[in-house]
Every structure is written in C-alpha cells, then in structure tokens.
Amino acid sequence: HMGHAFQQTIMDALIRYHRMRGDNTLWQVGTDHAGIATQKIVENQLAAEGKSRHDLGREAFVERVWHWKEESGSTITRQMRRIGAAADWSRERFTMDEGLSAAVRKVFVEWYRAGLIYRGNRLVNWDPLLMTAVSDLEVNNVERDGSMWYICYPFSDGPVDGLRGMTIATTRPETMLADGALAVHPEDGRYRHLVGRYVDLPLCDRRIPIIADEFVDREFGSGCVKITGAHDFNDYEVAKRHAIGMIIIMTLDARMNDSAPAAYRGMDRYVARKAVVADLEHQGFLIKVEPHKYQVPVSQRSDAVIEPMLTDQWFVDLTSDNGRSAITQPALDAVRNGDIRFVPENWTTTYTQWLDNIQDWCISRQLWWGHRIPAWYDEAGNIFVGEDEADARAHASVPPVGALRQDEDVLDTWFSSALWPFSTLGWPSDQPVENERGEIVANWQTDKVFLPSSVLVTGFDIIFFWVARMVMTTLYFTRQVPFRDVYINAIVRDAEGRKMSKSKGNTLDPLDLIDGITLPALVEKSTRSLLIPQVREKVEKRIRKEYPDGIAAIGTDALRFTFAALASYSRTINFDIKRAEGYKAFCNKLWNAARFVLMNSSSPLPPGTAAIPGQELRGGAQAPGEGSGLARHPGETEPSPQPLSRRERGSLPTTEAERWIVSRLHATLAEVEQHFTTYRFDHLAQALYEFVWNEYCDWFLELSKPALSGDDAEAAASTRRTLLVVLETALRALHPVIPFITEEIWQSVAPQLGLEAASILERAYPRADEFAVDQTASAEIEWFKAVLTGIRKIRSEMNIVPGKTIPLLLADGDADDRRRAEKFSAQIEFLARCEAPRWLAAGEAEPAAAAAVVGNVRVLIPLAGLIDLDAERARLNKEIARIQAEIKKCQGKLGNANFVDHAPAVVVEQERNRLADWNTQLGVLRGQAEKLGA
C-alpha cells in the first residue's frame, strides 16, 4: 500500500545514496510469516470449501499455508521491484527459513535456561474466535455503549442495620457466576464494618466474603466491586492478593461451562448475560440499570471481544527485578544513552514509556502456522526444553517418564521478527547459510560487519511490536545494538487527512499512480470489498467526483519524488495527488533539459521526444549490476559514444554564468548532503528541485543559448561542457530519489563526458567540494538577473508583446555597472528581446520611459509607442508606496533606542544597510516619477 511504497522509497534512496558514496551497503529485505493473519486467510479458504484445518490435520494444513505463502510472497517483491527497490534480492529472508528458525530455537532455549522464559497458568488475553492467546499489543480497546448493572448481594446472616445486602456495579453481569468475593476500600466508612461478613451470591448456591482492598475506587459505582479472579485482570490481582479461589466458568470459545449453574451451561457469554440479567430482575436482585460507555478489549486480528482466560502459556520475563529484567534494562539504557537514536526524536518518549510499564510477554499462540515451541512433556507433565528432542532429553534434570510429546503451540510471529537484525546475518551458525537453491544468503563470520546496522526505517505503529523487541534480543544475544538510527516514517493519509482504509474506499494503490488507471477500473477496485450498498454508492460518487478521468500515469520517479518531498519530520503526510502531478512535471522538465543539452552536444537525442516516455519507462528492478532496467523508447537508437574533444574536456568554466551555476551546484550539494544525514528528504528534494528548475533550467540554460551561438568559440565550448558536467552531476545527485529517468538520461550523457561506468549507480555521489565557489561570478549574475527581471516586469505589466524587440537605455550607475552592462550586453539583448543597451550620454535629453532600478542604475524603456504614460506612473507610485512602507519599518526599528542598544551589532548594521538601499531606490524612483510628471 502507499505506506509501503513511501517507506521503500526512503530506504531505497538511502541505499542508493550510500552505495554511490562507496559505503558497504546491505538492504536486508525479507518478510515475516504473519502467523495469525496468514493462518486465518488459509482457514478462510478452507471454510469456503466447507472444511476446517482440523479436517486436514496439522501437517497437511501447514503444507497448504506454505503453498499460499509462495504465491503471496512474490507479489510483495514484485511490487517492491516496481517501486525501484535496489535491494540485494539474493539475500532475501523469511522468518520461517531454516536458518532463522534455528535462531528462534536457540534464543528460546537460551532464555529458558537463563530463567527468562517460563511457562505458567496465567490470565491472558484470549481470542475466543481464533482460539488463541494474544499479547497485550494485539488487543485494541474500543469504546462501546453498554450498561451498568447494579446488583444486590444479600448478607448471608440477614439484613445489617436494615440493609438487605451489598450493592455492586458491573458491566459484565454474566461473570458474577464466577465471583469469589466482594471488595470495598479499607477506609470506606460506609462499608468498613462489613468487611469479613459474607453475602449470598445470587443465582448461585454460594456465599462469598466481603474483603477490603486499596484497589477499590470509593467514588465509582457503589464503591463495592465484585471480584471475579478468573475473568478480569484487576480482579485476578485482587484475588491473588487475598487468596480467593478462582472459578473458570467459560469454555475457550466463550460459552458457559459446567462450573456455571446448570441453567446457563452451554450459553454464549452474551446470551448468558441476558439470561442472568433477566433472572436477577425476576428474583429481585437487580437494583437498576444505567447506560454506560465502556472500553471493550477487541482482538486486532479477528475483531472478537477478548476474554481474559486462565490458561497455560509461555512468557518472556520482562519484569523481574522490579520491572527491569536482564532483557528490558539494556534496551532502555541503549536509547537513553544515545546508542540508538530515534528520528524524529520525540519517539524516544513513546519507546521508553512503554518499556517502563511493560508486562511479561505472552509468546505462545494456539496456532499451527509458525515456529513450534521447542518444549516437550513427559507423561507426568514435566517440561523438557531443547533445540530438539534429543537436546531436551540431554538437558533434563529429571528423567522423563514415558514418551515425550512436543508442545502443540507456536511462537508469536514477533518472536522471530525480533531476531531479524542478527538472524538474517547468519547467526547462530558458524557456517555460511544457504538457501534451497544452494546460494549463500548469509555468513555470520563475515556479515557481522552489518551489525549494528546504520538505520531502521519503519512505522511508529510497530515501535513496540518490533523495534523494542529487536533492541531487546539483539542486545541480549550479541551485546550490540541492532541499529544506530530508527527513522520513523510518517503515516500516509488521503488528501483530506483521513486514514486510508479499504472500508472507506479511499485507498490508493501505488501501482495505479505509477501506471494510471481508468475511472471504471478505479471505481470497481475501490468498491469491490464494500458490502453495504449505501457506503458503496457514497464511495463511488466521491471517486467519480475526485477522479473524473481516472488517474493519469505519473510514473515511479514522480511518485518517489513526491514521497521524498513530503517526508518531513511530520508524523502524518496527506497524500495530495496534485502534488505528485507537479513532480511529474519536474521529471519532464529534467528530461527536456537533458534533451536541450544533448541537442547541443555531439550526440543529441532524437527529436520528437518532448515528453518523457511514459509506459516505456517502466522498468524491472534495479538490482546491483542489473543496469537501469529501463526500456528505450521507440525509435531511439543507442547513442554513439563521442567524447568531448580534448579542448572541451580540459577547459575550465570560463564565463560568469558557468562559474555561477557551478557555485550554485556546490551550495546545493552541500545542502543535500546535510539533509541526507538528518533524513530530511523533503528538504533535499526541494533543494534539488530548485537547483534544476529555477537555476539550471531557468537561468543557466537560457544564458547558455547566446553563449552557444555567440562568436566566442572558447566560451561556447566551455559552456557546452559545463552544461553536460552540471547535468551529469545533477543526475547523480537526484538518482537516489529519481532512479529511472536519471539512469535513462545518464546513459546518453555519460558518453559525452567520456565516462565509462555501466550504470549511474556505479558513479560516485557528487560532493560539494568538487565544485568551486566563485563569489564574484555570483554577484555578476545576480546583477544580470536583476536587470533582466526588471525589464521583464515592465514588459509584462506594460503589455508589451513578448515578440516585440524594444530599445533599452541605461542611466546613472557606476563603473561596475558599465562593465557589467558591457559584458552581458549580448545576453540582455537575447533574453530580454531588446536592442543592445545604450548608456544615456551626459547631457543627453532623457526620453519619457518606464524604468527599473537595479542598485544605482536605471534601466529605461522609452515610452514612445510602447507604453501608456499613466500606467507607468501608476506602476511607479505603487512601487514607491511599497518602498516607503519598508522604509517606515526600518526607521521604526532604528529609531528605537532599545533596538540599537540591545540588538547585535550585525543586525543593526544590516538594518542600516537596508534602509540605505531602500532610500536609494526611493530616490531613483521619485526622480523617475518626476520626469514623467507624476
């Protein structure tokens, strides 16, 4: 989905960037086995055939899941390739690979032997639909409208002080059948004297004590609470504290069992609730019912309401030693002392707060798909843990009684995912690990260098599930942190900021953005899984309105660039397709700039390709050594390598424009490098965008035109070379974000520069210091730009048709201005469509003219026949007003003694300079206005 595409764009950009910088890079790709989700899918398939997994039996069922995994796994990698992921696919891993499974067994056994994994009968979150335990993290609390039932439990010895009994409040009346006590607060004056008495449990033939416990909130309900140890997490703790017996009254599929009174046996929990309430009312125990909003624990995977259930499960000890087990404490320390850094850093709080309040981790799941727990039981119920049965026997402290049978349960998927940072590198094997094709996929002896890795890129939603657990296991087993940086990417939402979800029909498929999709297909796809007709209709209506023509293909590059441009430190990004279209235009701009450059070099691209090839640009993966994966568009021939002449190659930038663009390139690259280290993809995309479009294309390319066709052969040759060099550099700088188009263009540009690499990915990432900064040239070009902009402004505002060549006069100014005007004469003529600029001679009568002011120079366009005098006066007055406002602001500041005394000298100085500049301009403009009789 969009989140994956976004995430992979970030990862791929980082990988390509570092590879080009010559770093030893590994992008460890792979997938986990998604235990519950996957098993559920296959079970659903079976259900459609009218079968259950029990019909197949464990072995056949697991076989079938493997089969499904082969199919779906390839879909993921295919999509990653489309987005351009330059991963090392030969090293792709799966959590149920043999090697990774060996790591799982070793970790389990070591932790067990260290006393950090234990088996116990505990109250756990039980999913009665999937029939498995789940961890705390896999439970969501959702608010529901419910009721609060007030129930009277009569005193066993008859009324006390006229009171018939104790009134309790509950949201789950059916669980009263398992009550073991009532509890009040020890300091509650209303009830203190009743502690120790007994009440009769309605509907049951039992009496239960009234106890006192601090846990009770005096303010809530009646201040008296029923204690149902086996079916409520709070009550469980209270019951344990007071040694109150726990009665289990539900089966694993949440029906009343034989411990419940006969009347309710076999009833579903909600049916039983109704029956219990009805009976209570009948028998006069129900005091009242109030509407009540409450939190219901819901299974993330099945939406079933979770039932706390007392069962035998396996746990990882994360809390011994005061909540800081040998596993937890190092994981906290690593982040606190900066060995691991969250980006953006505010996620640090989330991480540490969770670890500070963590509970033991329930790792057993009553499923078949996953790593089977390496524990065996003998006929006496003794537990034997080992990497296999023989190992388990060998480590037995008591001889097994009879045959051993392996634990039926599997491990939480995240248990194996938690080992990813080192299990994928070959741990624990001393030998190279091979895949089923006999290829070496990992070798711990040599691959250790990738631990810790530089960065983990992931979503905040799995900081607890995955990130924290990788930190815990990796620190424990390797004494190293798994990664240095954790870049938490933003969540992708739709343009209105709503979560993308299939049930809202507002998801976008990245591939549909890349390839485009027709309206009917989009409608069909978005409404396919919507079952409610009204919702369907609404979604269809919205889509028809939002995408009347479907979605036009924007290509992988533009999509990637959009993701980069949106990747600020913000925690959500609202995906606006308009923005993607803007970046598609950028890709096109780049393409056309390249066309221009190549057109002016010895081997141009063929004409007639003014738009970037769309569908043809689709490529396969860009695996190392695989080349660009780009198809050439129709009609295009292989460019014949014709390197520049020696003179061209050897020449240094000669013109100001060249030295200026090279200076700008330096600044841009410096900025980009900085942004890569801080993961500010938005800024680096922006910097490159501005450089390519606003500087290289808008100014340098335009300035090159007169140079290329001018009389100065040396300048022409040098310009040609600089066009190529800067383009080639910009391509490399952009390549991590825009891999396909840059490769495509580069293949044509490289021969022009005599470059030998087979792929742009083999070239080094450009560094700022390879490009000289020339302040002087920059100042010259800024002057030129100001002059040209001034003229353009007049032309535009005075409605002088662009095609019309106009006369140009220069007045005032100093020696520098004269020198510059002389130097840029040809460029001004060419780009401003004017006659050669002429200086107004001393004493020469000045014609009525429109004027632009650049420093001390007045750039004059005579009005005769061109310009409306009134319009020019109005234009001048507007400009004067604007400058006066600026002057007023400056004077306000400088007139404030506090400012002058307290502000840093540089700031005051800057303000004075500004004021002087504004005043100069104001003077010139006023003079000009006077001349026009305004």
Partner RNA sequence: GGGCAGUUAGCUCAGCGGUAGAGCACCGCCUUGACAUGGCGGUGGUCAGAGGUUCGAUCCCUCUACUGCCCACCA
Which residues inside 253-272 make contact with RNA, applying CB under 7 A?
A: none
If one asks whether residue 596 binds RNA (CB under 7 A), the answer comes out as yes
Task: Decide if residue 595 touches RNA (CB under 7 A).
Answer: yes
Cβ-based burial of 262 (10 A; exposed 0-12, middle 13-18, buried ≥19):
exposed
- Applying the rule CB under 7 A, the residues between 123 and 152 that interact with RNA are 136-137, 140-141
* Binding of residue 318 to RNA (CB under 7 A): no
In the complex with RNA, the residue whose CB is nearer, 346 or 445, is 346
Q: How far is CA 371 from CA 19, 165, 378, 467, in A?
A: 35, 53, 21, 20
Is 875:850 a contact under the CB 8 Å cutoff? yes
Question: Looking at beta carbons only, is 802 or 843 nearer to RNA?
Answer: 802
Among 380, 449, 801, 841, which residue sits at the site for RNA (rule: CB under 7 A)? 801
CB of 180 to RNA, least distance (A): 13
Written as six digits, the tokens of 638 are 């292989």
**Segment near RNA (CB under 7 A); pick from 50-58, 209-217, 320-328, 640-648:** 209-217
Site stretch for RNA (CB under 7 A), options 3-11, 320-328, 353-361, 620-628:
353-361
Distance in Å, CB of 739 to RNA, minimum: 18
Angle, alpha carbons 44-463-326 (nearest 5°): 110
Under 8 Å between Cβ of 554 and 514: yes
Query: Please, where are the H alpha helices in 208-293?
Result: 233-241, 269-282
CB 423 within 8 A of CB 91: no
Number of residues that bind RNA (CB under 7 A): 99
Which of 322, 357, 637, 640 touches RNA by CB under 7 A? Answer: 357
CB of 250 to RNA, least distance (A): 16
Residue 603 structure tokens: 């081997």
User: Of 10 and 375, which has the nearer Cβ to RNA?
Assistant: 10
Phi/psi for 267 (5° steps) reads -75, 145
- Mark 583-618 as b/e (b = at least 16 C-beta within 10 Å): bbebbbbbbbbbbbbbebbbbebeeeeeebbeeebb
Give 368 or 689: the residue with its C-beta nearer to RNA: 689
Helix (H) or strand (E) holding 674: helix 656-677
Identified binder of RNA from the candidate list 130, 151, 210, 224, rule CB under 7 A: 224
Rounded (10°) angle between helices 739-752 and 577-599: 10
> According to CB under 7 A, which one of 110, 339, 581, 673 is a site residue for RNA?
581
Residue identified by tokens 């002011």 is: 853
**Which of 116, 363, 566, 723 contacts RNA by CB under 7 A?**
566
Q: What are phi and psi of 608, to 5 degrees?
A: 80, 20
Q: Determine if residue 487 is left, alpha or beta; phi over 0 gives left, psi from -120 to 50 gives alpha, anything else beta.
A: beta
Question: Which of 640/898 has CB closer to RNA?
Answer: 898
Query: Which stretch, 429-437, 735-743, 788-796, 853-861, contacts RNA (CB under 7 A)?
Result: 788-796
Write out the binding residues for RNA, residues 696-735 only, by CB under 7 A.
697-698, 701-702, 705
Residue in 89, 118, 198, 569 binding RNA, rule: CB under 7 A: 569
Region near RNA per CB under 7 A, out of 69-77, 472-480, 491-499, 774-782: 491-499
Q: Which of 72, 90, 283, 295 binds RNA (CB under 7 A)?
A: 295
Q: Is 463 within 8 Å of 488 (Cβ atoms)?
A: yes
Interface characters, 497-516, with RNA (x: CB under 7 A): x-x-----------------
Sequence-separated (6 or more) residues with CB below 8 Å from residue 777: 656, 657, 658, 659, 660, 663
- Choose, by CB under 7 A, the member of 22, 189, 904, 933 that binds RNA: 904
Q: Which is nearer to RNA, 290 or 321 (CB)?
A: 290
Q: How far is the CB of 247 from RNA (least distance, A)?
A: 16
Q: Residue from 232, 409, 648, 780 that binds RNA (CB under 7 A)?
A: 232
> Can residue 320 be called a binding residue for RNA (CB under 7 A)?
no
Strand order in the sheet with 165-170: 165-170, 139-154, 286-299
830 belongs to the binding site for RNA (CB under 7 A) = no
Cβ of 902: how many Cβ atoms within 10 Å? 10
Nearer to RNA, 346 or 529 (CB): 346
**Footprint of RNA on residues 463-482 (CB under 7 A)?**
464
525, 914, 926, 931: residue in contact with RNA (rule CB under 7 A): 914
Q: Are 810 and 786 in contact (CB under 8 A)?
A: no
Q: Interface with RNA by CB under 7 A: which range of 92-100, 226-234, 315-323, 737-745?
A: 226-234
Contact 857, 811 (CB under 8 A): yes
Residues 669-698 touching RNA, rule: CB under 7 A, are 682-683, 686, 693, 697-698
Residues of span 14-73 touching RNA by CB under 7 A: none
- Burial-class residue 886 by CB neighbours within 10 Å (0-12, 13-18, 19+): middle
Question: Max Cα separation, the chain?
Answer: 123
Q: Name which of residues 171 to 190 contact RNA (CB under 7 A).
A: 171-172
Per rule CB under 7 A, is residue 636 in the interface with RNA? Answer: no
Q: How far is the CB of 920 from RNA (least distance, A)?
A: 14
Say if CB 695 and CB 664 are below 8 A apart: yes
Cβ proximity to RNA: between 349 and 431 the closer is: 349
Q: Which is nearer to RNA, 522 or 883 (CB)?
A: 883
How far, in Å, are 144, 380, 395, 783 from residue 384 at the CA level? 44, 11, 8, 83
Strand order, beta sheet including 132-134: 132-134, 117-127, 307-316, 361-362
Which two three-digit tokens encode residue 824? 């840029």
Peptide bond into 428 cis (omega under 30): yes
Tokens 């006077």, residue located: 930
Least distance in angstroms from the C-beta of 571 to RNA = 5
Among the listed residues 110, 636, 797, 816, the single contact to RNA using CB under 7 A: 797
Q: From the list 793, 838, 912, 926, which residue makes contact with RNA (rule: CB under 7 A)?
A: 793
Is 635 an interacting residue with respect to RNA (CB under 7 A)? no
Please, which residues bridge with residue 131 across strands? none
- Whether 752 contacts 644, CB under 8 Å: yes
Nearer to RNA, 69 or 683 (CB): 683
Q: What single DSSP character describes residue 464?
A: I
**Residue 312 φ/ψ, nearest 5 degrees:** -85, 125
215 near RNA, rule: CB under 7 A = yes
Distance CA 142, CA 502 (A): 19
**Among residues 632 and 793, whose Cβ is nearest to RNA?**
793
> Residue 410, SS3?
strand
Residue 912 found at the interface with RNA (CB under 7 A): no
The tally of CA atoms less than 13 A away on the side-chain side of residue 90 is: 13
| From 109, 124, 201, 216, residue interacting with RNA (rule: CB under 7 A) | 216
Cis peptide before 186 (omega within 30 of 0): no
Residue among 903, 915, 932, 934 that touches RNA (CB under 7 A) = 903
Candidates 31, 79, 156, 234: give the one binding RNA (CB under 7 A): 234
- What six digits make up the tokens of 623? 């695996």
Q: Does 789 bind RNA (CB under 7 A)?
A: yes
Please tell me whether residue 495 binds RNA under the rule CB under 7 A.
yes
Is there binding between residue 877 and RNA (CB under 7 A)?
no
Instruction: With beta carbons less than 8 A apart as the criterion, state whether 7 and 573 touch.
Output: no
895 binds RNA (CB under 7 A): no
- In the complex, what is the shortest distance from the CB of residue 635 to RNA, in angstroms, rounded to a whole number? 16
Nearer to RNA, 216 or 731 (CB): 216
| Shortest Cβ 568–RNA spacing (Å) | 4
By rule CB under 7 A, what string of x and - marks binding of each residue 425-464 to RNA? -----------------------------------xx--x
